[in-house]
Amino acid sequence: MKQWQTIFIDEWRLWRRSYLAVSALVLFTLLLLATSIFTGLRMTEEQHAREHQQQEAEETFLSQPDRHPHRMVHYGHYAFRTPPPLAMVDPGVDAVTGQSIFLEGHRQNSAMFADERAAANTGGFGSLTPAKVYQLLIPLLLIAIGHGVVVRERESHTLTQLLSQGVSGTQIVAGKWVALASVALISLLPLVIASLSASTAGDSLSISLALVATYALYLLVWVSLIVLISTTTQTRGVALGLLVLFWITTAMITPRIGVASANATHPAPGKIETELRMYADKRELGDGHNASDPAFEAFRTNVLAQYNVDTIEELPVNFRGMVAQKNEADLTELMNQYAEEKMMQELHQSNHLRSFGWLSPTLATASASQSLASTGLQTHHRFLRETETLRLNFVQGLNQVHIDKLSYSDDINRNNDEESSRRVRVSSENWKVLEDFEFAPDQAAERWQAARYPLLMLLIWFVAFTVSGMYCAARIKP
């Protein structure tokens, strides 16, 4: 047997015989199982709930009675973002961005929380998800079990005994590293189960495995750091202190500094201020409900010329509908500008925060994890864009019905009496302009693409700690 194997086996013998290590491992495994099951159940429930709500919203829309098409534009519709299966490992921004949107004419609403409970869950504390447990708590477990691996032997002078047997520092430290790495890998078991069940629920197997590999790499970064510190310090107290300090700095403080720095570097414009600016811009585009708004004069001239007639009444189509359609197109272009600006700014912030992964392996991991699980900001942005397309399509579809199926004269006289208002109703068959909506998770290739950069950071952390560990191991002193 190689010397490192003998040392590896002994490390486990020590852990087996000391209740602290074993009970810590058992405790954390139970915690992980509990959060995995709990988060898994919650996200599956959420997924079904949102799929159900989506279907219900569509049915409600389609079952509306015959009426004026523009009333349907205002009646509106809901779109829901169903979470991907891997959200049961890492729900990502799900808890903070809102998962449903009310879609209606002339407006782009922001995402809301699908239900009260989802909002209550956030209540200031992020709930404990498997991702958070792996990012924050398992490193603490590894520190608790592993900070003494080498320094304990130095303190009790058994290191002298070991070295004087002709065992090289490299062999000793390698044995310790493998022992602690095996603890890390055991702790990944609940994640493996969760990821595999996500892949049976529809997420790609390679991505599920990549997520497991990401956390494996992250924990190995910690293993290498812990062994490095344990190799180079003189007392357990100092080793423990340094490691906890590193944990507090990189897992607790750096992310918050990162957020603050992102906010300072790419400040979000005031919400009210922006909205006022947008309302002013919108007002200049005219009121689409009022065909005689001076804002549409040029448009009217154009249309009349196009159809080669002199008055609106002579047009073969409903001019009010045309104005509504044109106005919606103009408004949408304007609102999209604001929306894209906002998303761009959020993306800048998110990228800025991500670059703090060079200072915190925890941040790098969180970023890679969300990208792989398809629960990150970019996925949410795609949801916003897709729901906007859905919104614009059904609104313009209804406007087209307005143009084609209602005569202009009926339309302007719709408020004269009961009979006139009945005449401007169109068949509910027309509500079928609404498309089905089903939000799909990102493609595997896109997820890879987004996770590559933070994974590179993680790899460099790993190489840096491991290489310095090897260097110090070869020069170990009792």
Partner 1 sequence: MNNALEANSLSINRSGKPVLNDISFTVPAGEIYALLGGNGAGKSTTLLTFLGFLEAASGSVSVQGEQVNKNVKKAREAIAYLPEAATLYGHMSAYENLRYFLDLANAKASDSELNEALDSVALQTAARSQHMVTYSKGMRQKTAIALAILRDSPILLLDEPTSGLDPLAIDEFNRLARKLADQGRTILMVTHDVYGACQVADRIGLLRRGKLVGAFDRTEGEIDTETVHRAFAERAST
What crossing angle do the helices spanning 169-187 and 19-62 adopt, rounded to 10°? 40
Q: Least distance in Å: CB of 142 to partner 1?
A: 20
Judged by beta carbon, residue 14 or residue 41, the one nearer partner 1 is: 14
Residue 269: helix, strand or coil by DSSP?
Answer: coil
Q: Least distance in Å: CB of 243 to partner 1?
A: 23
Cα maximum dimension of the chain: 106
Residue 442: helix, strand or coil by DSSP?
Answer: coil
- Angle ∠(29,35,36) on CA atoms, nearest 5: 85
Spatial separation of the C-alpha atoms in residues 454 and 364, rounded to whole Å: 5
Q: Least distance in Å: CB of 18 to partner 1?
A: 7
Side by side, the strands of the sheet bearing 107-108 are 77-80, 100-104, 107-108
Q: Least distance in Å: CB of 454 to partner 1?
A: 40
Which residue, among 396, 263, 231, has the nearest Cα to 322 in the 3D structure? 396
In which residue are the tokens 């397309």 written?
A: 389
DSSP-derived secondary structure letter, 248? I
Q: Least distance in Å: CB of 2 to partner 1?
A: 10
Q: Which residue type sits at 476?
A: I
Judged by beta carbon, residue 172 or residue 216, the one nearer partner 1 is: 172
Q: Least distance in Å: CB of 13 to partner 1?
A: 7
Q: Least distance in Å: CB of 180 to partner 1?
A: 17
- CB count within 10 Å of CB 152 equals 17
As to burial, measured by CB atoms within 10 angstroms (0-12 exposed, 13-18 middle, 19+ buried), residue 404 is middle
Which residue, among 259, 435, 235, has the nearest Cα to 363 in the 3D structure? 259
As to burial, measured by CB atoms within 10 angstroms (0-12 exposed, 13-18 middle, 19+ buried), residue 421 is middle
DSSP-derived secondary structure letter, 135? I
Spatial separation of the C-alpha atoms in residues 287 and 295, rounded to whole Å: 8
Taken as a whole, the chain contains a residue count of 478
Q: Least distance in Å: CB of 162 to partner 1?
A: 7
Q: Least distance in Å: CB of 10 to partner 1?
A: 6
Which residue, among 261, 429, 220, 288, has the nearest Cα to 355 in the 3D structure? 261
Judged by beta carbon, residue 160 or residue 206, the one nearer partner 1 is: 160
Report the b/e string of 42-74 with b at 16+ CB within 10 A: bbbebbebbeebbeebbeebeeeeebbbbebbe
Binding site for partner 1 (CB under 8 A): 1, 3, 6-7, 10, 13-14, 17-18, 156-158, 160-168, 477-478
Judged by beta carbon, residue 158 or residue 292, the one nearer partner 1 is: 158
Q: Least distance in Å: CB of 170 to partner 1?
A: 11
Q: Least distance in Å: CB of 155 to partner 1?
A: 10
Spatial separation of the C-alpha atoms in residues 108 and 384, rounded to whole Å: 10
Judged by beta carbon, residue 167 or residue 329, the one nearer partner 1 is: 167
Judged by beta carbon, residue 236 or residue 414, the one nearer partner 1 is: 236
Residue 66 · residue 426 · CB < 8 Å: yes
